[in-house]
Every structure is written in structure tokens, then in C-alpha cells.
A = this chain, B = another copy of it.
Amino acid sequence: MASKFIIGVIGPGENATPDNNTMAYELGKAIALEGWATLTGGRSFGVMDAALKGASENNGMTIGVLSSGTSKGSSMYAEIKIVTGMGSGRNLINVLTSDVIVVVGMSPGTASEVSLAIKNDHRTILLNQEDLTVQFFKNIGEYKVQNVKTIPEVISLIKDYFSMNRKR
């Protein structure tokens, strides 16, 4: 049995914009249609919830890695709930578990995950981000960080990456 490719979708919770949520939903859908699993922080709002919803409604596997010590308040679209009880400490697990991270919107928690991904040599795709954000993360992450405007470009980059990096 091959282990599942896992795509982490990272973005703001409470402060997600309607555009962030729409983008995250469509991204989760696109990931599911490729047969990959979608992973988020698993809460019931914002980008975390929207991406899981998009994936779940398109028969994709969904994983929520929860900061809390129980599954209370988690997204109803998370099929598998990993309960860490480690607060923001779970952000590292999101990053290490995901084969690729895709970033929709920005927040402090999101910025910590992008930074940890770079630190741990995981690939990160910034989706439709502001110039300042792109420039900051390119400065510290160089080739590990890519920047695109649309979901088809995200999927195409991931396919390229997977074609060169067989799943462990």
C-alpha cells in the first residue's frame, strides 16, 4: 500500500476574508480531485474549515491536526482528527506531515507555519499573496518558496514536485 500524498492548506482562522474562504474551498476541491489528502489545523472556521469542506464534498480524504486537547470545536469536515493538545506547537506537525504546503491568506499562525516549513526544508506555495509577503518569504526561503496566482498553477507545481520526489 502506498502512503497518501498530503497537501497542507494553511491560512487564517477568525480573520479569514470571504475571498480566502472561497479560494480555500476551491483548493480543497482541486486537491481531492487529484486523489490527495487535504490537511489543515482542523478548526470549524476560516481557511481550515473551508479547505476541508471543499475536499470532503468531493470525496477527498481530510485530516485536521487540532491544537486543542479534545476534538471539541473542530471542523465537521475533518474525517481524521489528530488531537495534539499542544497549542500552536501543532503548527510544526502540520508542516512536517504535509508533502507540500499551500498558503491562502496570511495571519501570525500562518506566518509561523510558512517559516517552519522553510526551516525544515518543506516546499511551500504562496497562493495569490501580497507582494510584501512574497518578498519577505522569498528572502528567507529562496527556492523553497514559490508564488502563483491560481489554483491550476498550484496543482501543476505539486504534480511537478511529486514526479521528482517519490513518496517515501
Would you call A76 an interface residue if the criterion is a C-beta within 8 Å of the partner chain's C-beta atoms? yes
Would you call A106 an interface residue if the criterion is a C-beta within 8 Å of the partner chain's C-beta atoms? yes
A64 to chain B, nearest CB (A): 8
Tally of this chain's copies: 4
Would you call A132 an interface residue if the criterion is a C-beta within 8 Å of the partner chain's C-beta atoms? yes
Chain A residues with a Cβ closer than 8 Å to the other chain, count: 54
A83 to chain B, nearest CB (A): 4
Contact status A119-B86, CB under 8 Å: no
Chain B contacts of A83 at CB under 8 A? Answer: 93, 96-97
- A1's contact among B70, B76, B135, by CB below 8 Å, is which? B76
Q: Which residues of A contact B (CB under 8 A)?
A: 1, 3-4, 6, 37, 56, 61-63, 65, 69-72, 74, 76-89, 91-93, 96-97, 106-112, 115-116, 118-120, 132-133, 135-136, 139-141, 168
Least CB separation from A109: chain B residue = B119
